[in-house]
Amino acid sequence: MNSTTLFLAAVVLLSCLGNAQAMDRSELGDVLKTIPPNGPFWKYGTLVMRRRTKKAGMAPVVFAHWSHRARYTCRVCHLDLGFSMRAGDTGISRAQYTAGKYCGACHDGVTAFGVQDGEPSLCARCHMKDTQALEASFETFAAPLPIAGFGNGIDWAGALKSGRVSPRNSLSFAAPSMPLPEKLHLPMKLSTAAPRSDVTFSHEDHFSELDCSSCHPDIFNIKKKGTVDFSMDKNIFGNYCGACHMRVAFPMNDCKRCHSYMSNFSGF
Ligand code: HEC
Ligand code: HEC
Ligand code: HEC
Ligand code: HEC
Ligand code: HEC
Ligand code: HEC
Q: Which ligand is in closest contact with the Cα of 135?
A: 2
Q: What is the pLDDT of residue 265?
A: 56
The structure's pTM equals 0.93
Q: What is the pLDDT of residue 20?
A: 42
Cα(232) to centroid(ligand 3), Å: 38
Q: What is the pLDDT of residue 261?
A: 75
Q: What is the pLDDT of residue 235?
A: 86
Best residue among 232, 247, 253 to mutate for probing ligand 6's pocket (most ligand atoms within 8 Å of CB) is: 232
Q: Calculate the alpha carbon distances from 61 to 126, 130, 155 in Å.
A: 5, 10, 26
DSSP letter assigned to residue 199:
E
DSSP SS3 for 58: coil
Q: What is the pLDDT of residue 267?
A: 45
Q: What is the pLDDT of residue 217?
A: 85
Q: Which ligand is in closest contact with the Cα of 227?
A: 4
Best residue among 81, 83, 152, 240 to mutate for probing ligand 1's pocket (most ligand atoms within 8 Å of CB) is: 83
DSSP letter assigned to residue 42:
G
- Locate the ligand 6 atom nearest the alpha carbon of residue 195 and give its number: 23
Q: What is the pLDDT of residue 38?
A: 92
Residue ranges and CATH numbers for the domains of the chain are 17-37+168-208+210-257 (3.90.10.10), 41-142 (3.90.10.10)
Cα(256) to centroid(ligand 2), Å: 32
Q: What are phi and psi of 187, to 5 degrees?
A: -60, 145
> Residue 6 corresponds to which amino acid?
L
Ligand 4 neighbours, Cβ below 6 Å, are 180-181, 184, 188, 190, 201, 203, 206-207, 210, 212, 214-216, 220-227, 230
Most distant pair of Cα atoms in the chain: their distance? 84
Grouped pLDDT means (10 residues each) for the chain, 268 residues:
32 35 74 90 98 96 98 95 94 97 97 92 95 97 97 97 94 72 86 64 91 88 66 85 95 90 59
First-to-last C-alpha distance (Å) of the chain? 43
Q: Is any ligand 1 atom within 6 A of the Cβ of residue 64? A: no
Task: Enumerate the H helices of the chain as residue ranges.
Answer: 3-17, 25-32, 51-56, 65-69, 74-75, 94-98, 120-126, 132-142, 156-161, 203-207, 212-215, 232-236, 242-245
Cα(268) to centroid(ligand 5), Å: 22
